[in-house]
Amino acid sequence: MKPIHPLDPVCMSPEARLAEVAAILALGIVRLRTPPRLREEREPQKDLGFCPPQRVHSNPISQVRSAVRTALLAKTKGV
């Protein structure tokens, strides 16, 4: 992979900006055309830090509140 050079586009010539965009697009096309099997060998997947079935945005406290609300509704309907 090409190293990133943080250069302000305002300081670049139009030809340099065009070359930079062309290089980025070319890398994207090469990556899209690479078979997934080869991509996985070159770039191992990053571990997300949680088990796959676990949801990222689940909030345990909201699940507890929902369970309490359901239990209270069931209790009031039964009384």
Residue pLDDT, tens place only, 16-64: 999 989 999 999 999 888 877 765 666 666 666 666 665 556 666 677 7
Q: Are 30 and 2 in contact (CB under 8 A)?
A: no
Q: Are 20 and 12 in contact (CB under 8 A)?
A: yes
Residue pLDDT, tens place only, 6-28: 778 788 899 999 998 999 999 99
* pTM greater than 0.85: no
| CA–CA distance, 23 with 42 (Å, rounded to integer) | 20
Mean pLDDT over 63-77 rounds to: 83
